[in-house]
């Protein structure tokens, strides 16, 4: 039974008890039911001859003019835009209850839901019909009891001065007790009321007796014969007072509302569970409604509303535009259009948009919801909002990294191809330049100088191409290493011999401290390339009369550092931080010293591939120290 229908029937019967006017009570019942159900209702009263007597509420004029629209009809039927529910009592048609409906509605279900209300209306119509015909329709008490019996409700009367109840047998029967042999008193009934509810029940009566409320109303627990506690609801009114203004007689109705209270409690528990779940969800659950008149509202938002939007939940429920005002201006039209499209096509709504929180932050929000059309033409969405600012930032970073990696692969492939293509003609140029130098005796001095310049420029270009090719192979992960035990002293001797001529030409002295008999694991060819590059730079960026010292030290952790120390121009801290960037020649980019800006990047990459690392200590004007450091695991004695 929908909540409230039982209270409507009880109110109608109390109205009849108070006025002894069934027609008045019926008109009030129709008006109250229309407001409660939110549907147009009407009532057609039929005379014993089958002709309409009177109507109330919304009843089609045709129903009155036709005279006998209900003759012989017992089952609900649809006509003139209304569901007709015939009302029969004691074998005769007494009228019909009408409720606005659509042809597709289940009118039998409607009849079942409204059954308590229909039984009350039929009983009151019979009473009204009998009064109009001038014949008895049964005693008032019999009428009321018959009307309420099917609703689990009974009528009682309390003589306050004698403390005696009348008509309470059904009340005790509801709880499983036999009727009291000597009649019931308030004390008898109080013995059944839960101790925690006694005081409030008595206070409800006193509020009515003092005139503070027009109707006595109380809900409490009463112990049943099986030991369980049943919820009971009482409604009544004092109908007689003595000369001193003291209450004499109270008439009321009582109903067992245990199932109704259980349903309320279940609904409250479900709401509490939803609230608890919603509080642990990172986003906000919501229900959004577009009314038939085009207005919007949020019937429900979870408590995560304020952390997400910076708007309290109650503010958003009170005013749906509080959210729209937070949305970035450029996204508002998109938001409204997407809602219209979802409602029109009945498709899931999804949108990412920006909001400006009260704390000034701009956040990205993603919303998704499912629409549901309502019978009145409105639409309701149930959905979820979440903050996706960080997720979008990460996604954007992934896309940027993927694009950068793709561009880097393309660059590496291009440089690798170009390096191979350039080396072939360059080798030919160098070969012919060397032949001309061999046969240079026949050439004039100026031409011999020019041939030497061609060869030197070609060798410099070939060196740059080789470094570039090494760098692209390393970046592509295609460099193959031949790892073996390499003796450091022999490696240093070989490299010093190879750069001796360049040092003498630059006026730089090479110093070599005796090295311990140690071997390291690495590729012999690539280790030589690393050391030669460090020695060449130490000579190139030195000053005339300067020195380059090579020595080796054993570290505390068992590793080894091979150091190349020069007395050159040195580096600043900022330059050290950019030292191993390809094509970055730092302060020498426009200086007189030739270079490619690739050599150190290749040197570091080769050392890393072989398990070593390059360390740099330098100060501008005081020279630099470059160290190749091997961990202990890659170091062994000579000959190992």
First-residue to last-residue Cα distance in the chain: 95
d(CA 569, CA 581) in angstroms, rounded, equals: 19
Statement: the pTM of the whole predicted model exceeds 0.85: no
Q: Residue 302: name the closest of 388, 368, 384 by CA.
A: 384
Q: Where do the domains of the chain lie, and which CATH numbers do they carry?
A: 5-147 (3.30.450.40), 152-262 (3.30.450.20), 281-387 (3.30.450.20), 400-475 (1.10.287), 483-637 (3.30.565.10)
The bridge status of strand 349-356 relative to strand 216-223 is unpaired
* Partners of residue 301 on adjacent β-strands: 286
Band (pLDDT 50/70/90 cuts) for residue 565 is very high
The bridge status of strand 284-290 relative to strand 153-159 is unpaired
Q: Sheet of 349-356: strands edge to edge? A: 296-301, 284-290, 379-387, 362-373, 349-356
Phi, psi dihedrals of residue 318, rounded to the nearest 5°: -75, -30
The residue count of the chain comes to 640
Say whether pLDDT at 143 is over 60.
no
Per-residue pLDDT tens digits for 429-468: 777 777 777 776 677 888 878 877 787 777 767 777 777 7
Q: Residue 252: name the closest of 354, 137, 337, 168 by CA.
A: 168
Band (pLDDT 50/70/90 cuts) for residue 277 is low
Q: Are 154 and 251 in contact (CB under 8 A)?
A: no
Per-residue pLDDT tens digits for 204-260: 999 999 999 989 999 999 999 999 999 999 998 998 888 888 998 888 888 888 888
With 0-12 CB in 10 A as exposed, 13-18 as middle and 19+ as buried, what is 627? buried
Q: How does DSSP classify residue 239?
A: E
Q: Which helix (H) or strand (E) holds 271?
A: helix 258-280
Band (pLDDT 50/70/90 cuts) for residue 42 is very high
Angle of helix 524-540 relative to helix 488-506, nearest 10 degrees, comes to 30
């Amino acid at each position: 039974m929908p909540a409230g229908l039982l209270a409507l029937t009880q109110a109608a019967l109390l109205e009849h008890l108070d006025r002894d006017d069934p027609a008045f009570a019926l008109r009030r019942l129709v008006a109250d039911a229309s407001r409660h159900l939110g549907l147009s209702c009407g009532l057609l009263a039929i005379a014993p001859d089958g002709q309409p007597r009177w109507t109330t509420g919304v009843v089609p004029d045709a129903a009155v003019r036709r005279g006998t629209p209900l003759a012989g009809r017992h089952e609900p039927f649809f006509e003139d835009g209304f569901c007709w529910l015939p009302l029969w009592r004691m074998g005769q048609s007494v009228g019909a209850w009408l409720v606005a409906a659509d042809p597709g509605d289940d009118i039998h279900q409607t009849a079942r839901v409204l059954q308590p209300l229909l039984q009350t209306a039929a009983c009151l119509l019979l009473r009204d019909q009998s009064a109009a015909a001038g014949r008895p329709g049964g005693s008032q008490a019999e009428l009321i009891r018959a009307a309420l019996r099917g609703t689990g409700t009974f009528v009682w009367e309390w003589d306050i001065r004698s403390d005696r109840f009348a008509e309470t047998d059904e009340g005790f029967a509801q709880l499983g007790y036999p009727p009291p042999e000597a009649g019931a008193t308030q004390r008898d009934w109080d013995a059944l009321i839960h101790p925690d509810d006694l005081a409030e029940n008595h206070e409800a009566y006193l509020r009515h007796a003092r005139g503070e409320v027009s109707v006595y109303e109380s809900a409490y627990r009463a112990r049943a014969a099986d030991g369980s506690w049943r919820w009971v609801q009482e409604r009544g009114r004092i109908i007689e007072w003595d000369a001193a203004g003291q209450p004499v007689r109270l008439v009321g109705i009582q109903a067992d509302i245990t199932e109704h209270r259980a349903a309320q409690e279940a609904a409250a528990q479900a709401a509490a569970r939803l609230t608890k779940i919603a509080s642990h969800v990172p986003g906000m659950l919501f229900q959004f409604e577009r009314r038939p008149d085009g207005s919007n509202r949020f019937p429900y938002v979870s408590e995560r509303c304020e952390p997400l939007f910076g708007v309290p939940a109650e503010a958003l429920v009170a005013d749906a535009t509080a959210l729209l005002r937070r949305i970035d201006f450029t996204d508002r039209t998109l938001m409204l259009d997407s809602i219209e499209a979802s409602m029109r096509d009945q498709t899931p709504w999804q949108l990412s948009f920006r909001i400006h929180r009260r704390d000034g932050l701009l956040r990205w929000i993603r919303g998704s919801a499912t629409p549901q059309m309502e019978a009145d033409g409105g639409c309701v969405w149930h959905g979820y909002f979440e903050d996706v600012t960080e997720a979008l930032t990460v996604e954007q970073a992934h896309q940027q990294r993927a694009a950068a990696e793709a561009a880097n692969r393309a660059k590496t492939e291009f440089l690798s191809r170009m390096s191979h293509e350039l080396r072939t003609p360059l080798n030919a140029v160098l070969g012919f330049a060397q032949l001309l130098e061999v046969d240079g005796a026949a050439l004039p001095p100026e031409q011999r100088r020019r041939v030497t310049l061609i060869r030197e420029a070609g060798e410099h270009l070939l060196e740059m191409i080789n470094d570039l090719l090494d760098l692209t192979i390393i970046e592509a992960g295609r460099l193959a290493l031949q790892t073996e035990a390499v003796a450091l002293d022999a490696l240093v001797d070989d490299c010093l011999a190879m750069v001796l001529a360049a040092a003498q030409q630059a006026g730089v002295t090479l110093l070599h401290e005796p090295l311990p008999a140690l071997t390291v694991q690495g590729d012999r060819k690539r280790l030589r390339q690393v050391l030669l590059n460090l020695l060449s730079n130490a000579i190139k960026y030195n000053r005339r009369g300067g020195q380059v010292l090579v020595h080796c030290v054993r570290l505390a952790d068992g590793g080894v550092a091979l150091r190349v120390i020069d007395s050159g121009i040195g580096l600043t801290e900022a330059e050290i931080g950019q030292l191993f960037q390809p094509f970055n020649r730092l302060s020498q980019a426009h200086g007189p010293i030739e270079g490619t800006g690739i050599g150190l990047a290749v040197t570091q990459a080769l050392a890393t591939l072989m398990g070593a690392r390059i360390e740099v200590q330098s100060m501008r004007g005081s020279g630099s120290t470059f160290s190749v450091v091997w961990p202990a695991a890659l170091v062994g004695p000579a000959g190992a």
